Structure 1
Amino acid sequence: MPSWTVRTRPFWRLGGWSCRRQSQARRRKMADRAIAHLMDVRGAQLGYGAVPILRDLNLRIERGQRVAICGPNGAGKTTLFRGLLGSLSPSVGVIERLTDRMGYLPQSERLDPLFPLTALELVLQGAIPRLSGVRTFSNGEVSRAESLLSSLGLGGQERMLLSELSGGQRQRVLLARALLADPEILFLDEPTSGVDIEAARVIFEQVDELTKERGLAALTVTHHYDQLAAHVDSVWWITNGTVEVLDAKDFNPASLLGRRWSDVDSAGSEEVTR
C-alpha cells in the first residue's frame, strides 16, 4: 500500500494563518477605501497667466457624490470645470485624478442643430475614445447607444436629424453620448438651460440612477438650483475666488446672493472676458 504523508502545522501556527487572512482582508478593505474617491484637489490655484481666479481649493470627488456648483456669472464656475477636467493646470497646488473616465455634458446651445448628424450618430461619438484605431462601431456599441436613448425617452427617434429635435431632446442626446463613454465622473454644464421641466426631470433622474447603481459622481453647474435641489447632496458655492462646500440641506442661494453678491461679482469679473 502506498504511504501518504500528511503535513500538519502546530496548533499555535493556526493563529498566524488567521492573522494573515485578517491582515490581507484589512489591506483589501483599505485599498477599496483608498479608491473610493476619484479626484483630490489640494491647495490648488486656478487662473489665466498671472491672474488667479480661484485659490486655496481643497476639494474631493467621491464615488456616488452629487454636487451642484453654484455662483453668479463670472465667479469661476467654468474655470473650476476646466481645472477638474484637466484642460487648465493649477499654478499652485495639486489636482490628482484617480480616474481618466470622465464625461462632459455641454450646454445644448453649443451644439449646432444644423450639423447633419442623427441622434444615434451623435451618441456613438462617445465610443470613439475606446475604438483604438478601429473605424467602425460594433453591434454592441450601437445597441448600447440605442438603449441609452430609449432610457432617456428618445426611443424611436434614433434616426432623426438633430435639426428635427427640440432643445430638450438634443440635450438628452448629448447626455447619452457622455454616458456611452462609461464615465466615473460626469460633468454637466447648465444641463437645464433651454430645456423644459420634463426634459430636466428625465436628465436628473437618469443621473440619480447611475450614481446609485454604478457609483457615478455627478458635478453640475447650474443657475437654476431649484430644479436641481432634490438631486444633489452638497453644493460648492463659489464666492470671492474660493469654493465653499455646503450641505445641500443647508443651502439657501437667496441669502447667499444677498450677502455676498458684490464680493463675488467683483472677484469673478476677470473670467467674464476669457
Structure 2
Amino acid sequence: MIIDSHQHFWNYNPERDTWIDESMHALRKNFLPENLKPILIDNGIDGCISVQADQSYQETEFLLECASNNKFIKGVVGWVDLCSPDLEKKLKRYSEDKKLKGVRHIVQSEHKEYLLRKDVQAGISKLSNFNLTFDLLVTPIQLQSAIKLVKTFPNQKFVLDHIAKPRISEPLNKTWVNDIINLSKQNNVFCKISGLVTETKDYNFLEADFLPFLDIIFQYFGFDRIMYGSDWPVCLLAAEYKKVLEIITDYLSKYDSKTRKKIMGTNAQIFYNL
C-alpha cells in the first residue's frame, strides 16, 4: 500500500486561516477530500494521513469526519491542547475513533524552547497511554529542543515533519546536519520527506537542489524510519502533486523495490499503526 503520510484539508476561512497570506493566493480556497481523491488515484497512491492545519478541537473533529466518510483517508493527526487540565478526557474521547493516529502542535510558531516547557511535556507524556504519535513541526532553530524532548520520552513515537524546514536553496547548514544526526540517533523518531518544494527560494528549484538534503536524511535515519509526504495542498505554491511525488520517486530509483516500498508506505503503516 502506497501512503501519502502528510496532507491537509480545509474549508477556507480568512478570519481563521491567517497564516495563508497574500503571497499564498493559490491556497485561498477550499481543499477537501473530493479534491484530493482523484489526484491520489491518478498518481497511484492508495491512501493518506490527514494532518491538522488549525489549532482547534473543531479541526480534529472535522478531519475525523472527513476520514469517516472517505476510506482513502487512513488516519488523522489532530490537535489537542497539550496544556489543558482536560487533556486526558479529550484524548480518551478522540482516541475512541480509531482513525485518530496522532496529534500535532504548530511548534514552528512558538518560542524555540517551547518543547521544553514542563506543561507541554506533561501533555506529551500522556500520548503514549492512548497509542498516539506526535508530529514534530519545527524549524532548524528548534531542533535542539526537539532532541531533548525525544530523549525525555523514549517510549513515545515522534515523526519530524518536513525535515525541519531547512532552506533548500542554500548550501547545507552544518548546524542543521549535526542536529539531524543527533535526532536520528533516537530510535523513537521517524522523518517525513515532505514540504521540501516550499522551502526553495521563490519556489524555483531543480531536482538536484534536494539531493544533499535527502542524502543526509537517508544516511542517518536509514530505510526503516523515513516516509513520503506530499504536504498537499501547501505544495501547490511551488509544484503540482505529480512533481512533488516525482522528486521523491526519482531519488528512490537507485534503491531496490523493498526499500522503495518502505519509504512509500510500509514505514507510514508501521508508524501510524494503519
TM-score, scaled to structure 1 = 0.37
**Which has the higher relative contact order, 1 or 2, with Cα contacts under 8 A spaced 6 or more apart?**
1
User: Whose strand fraction is larger, Structure 1's or Structure 2's?
Assistant: 1
TM-score, structure 2 length as denominator? 0.37
